[in-house]
Structure 1
Amino acid sequence: MRVALFITCVNDTLFPGTGRAVVTLLRRLGCDVEFPRAQTCCGQMHVNTGYPEEGRRLARHFVDVFAGYDAVVAPSGSCAAMVREQYPRLARTPAVPPAAPASAARTSAAPVPATASAARTSTGPAPAGSGSPGGLITGTVEAPAGDAPGSFAAEVAEVAPKVYDLSEFLVDVLGVTDVGAYFPHRVTYHPTCHSMRILRVGDRPTRLLEQVRGLELVPLPEADQCCGFGGTFAVKNPAISAAMCADKVRNVTTTGAEVLCAADNSCLMHIGGTLKRQRTGVRIMHLAEILAATEATR
């Protein structure tokens, strides 16, 4: 099976080890994994903050980059949900022409990298093997020249259903829950909002964790409550966000867990900051990193 890794901005910039863990895990399970370096941001923050046209440009680029793969796997329920749920809506909505020449000039200028890491590494070395993430996104997005009627929608309909959160791909596509992992630690799991409420991954992540040898999985009180991150929500509403995170951290510490696991590093980064400031000693780890761990790697 030819699988593409969709690394996402947060992971490419701040958590490249998560991307490497996904590659390690999927190759161990027999997948032919590739890392398309032309990939960029999926456009989630643009659409969610009122810039649908900028988001549409990124969506067009995404379907071009990831067309032809059997599956596209993302270590982020949030970004996978953006592609599966928002892209079809963007494709159905007529594009809005630029309102003024200044706007048109801005969109027709030289292509701009869609992530900070793209700008940083556009001339960097090629990844090892077929591609190993870590600040290696090099894609740029051109202003669209226009689509034939229905062509963008057809492309989205072809690509979007093949985009999976990691746990979905493992359980539903590969049909596995025991991935041969070993992680002898006490772990609690936080179900992130997009993976739980939009993708509806349900118990797939915990079913995978339950099969990890040596791992003790302990339930997280009020697990379904948001951690308070919410992307730009944490920036626009810092006091509310911090209060929500404090509640989440209090529940994490009552479990006695050594490690807090989740499927989105953005949420883990948010919770992890408070865990560290309170000197709880609880580590954060992405689901992929735990599932990639074996006795040989410890």
Structure 2
Amino acid sequence: MAGGDTATVPGTPQSLARSRPRYGEMAIKAILLIAALVSVATTVGIVVSLLEPTIKFFGEVSAVEFFTSTDWGPLFEPPHYGVLPLVSATLITTGIAIVVAVPLGLASAIYLSEYAKPRVRKFFKPVLEVLAGIPTVVFGFFALSFVTPLLRSVLPFEIEIFNALSAGLVVGFMIIPIVASLSEDAMSAVPNSLREGSFALGASRMITSLRVVLPAAFSGIVAAVILAISRGAGETMIVYIAGGGQPNFTLDLGQAMQTMAAFIAAAGSGDVPVGTVDYDTIFAVGALLFVMTFVMNFVSARLVRKYREVYE
């Protein structure tokens, strides 16, 4: 066996070197590459479509007024272009949604991953994910016709017909499946050896879930929460129907508010002349919302890389 040539020795396996091109594998790689390029091209297309009208808008409107003023009324006379009411409404409704979705979503994920039997898990997880398939316009009318009257009957302070509290609560229920499903996937990926080691030390199932499994799945849970935040911040129909269209700069959850996504929906469906400053406000607000969600996803990616656990 000179020179280590095992391919010529009788009875040895054939060389692992490719004897002919694998066209099927090449086709799959090409399809995957095209899919990745389409995703990148879509993002670039969104940025390009927002960039020119946004630059044109800031050529007519002061950036200082846009980012610092609390008066928003681009379609009124005289117009006001302070975007803070839209930003505050977006942050408030998203914050309410996260307060609802994170505890309920994580509790659901812990139950499905650590407590539920396999048969129960196979039944309840698809049922939970069905909630994500309900049209958001249905959630909006549910908030307006059921949640708002309920809040007005039980809360001691005044709640308007259109209000941020009702919109935020229902957005929270809408994004529960995102938190629950992705967090459960991250927790299920934690090796059973960690659980067995915890049980061997005398820890209860609850202690094991909270102090062993959750920290081990932290990166996946963070990604799920950030994705839910991005989804909640970009929600349109629920806040458009239940939150109202009044751009109030206030912390009163019982008043009507207009989020950035709701303004885009309202202005985009109106009779705003194309090419005017009023029309360009849609792109300026859209660009700001895009930057906000991009920053959240960037932070999420950094946290996932920092706290990712790799198991053999």
Task: Return the TM-score normalized by structure 2.
Answer: 0.23
Structure with a larger share of its residues in strand: 1
With normalisation by structure 1, the TM-score equals 0.24
Q: Which has the higher helix share?
A: 2
- Asked which structure has the greater RCO (Cα within 8 Å, sep 6+), the reply is 2
Bigger radius of gyration: 2
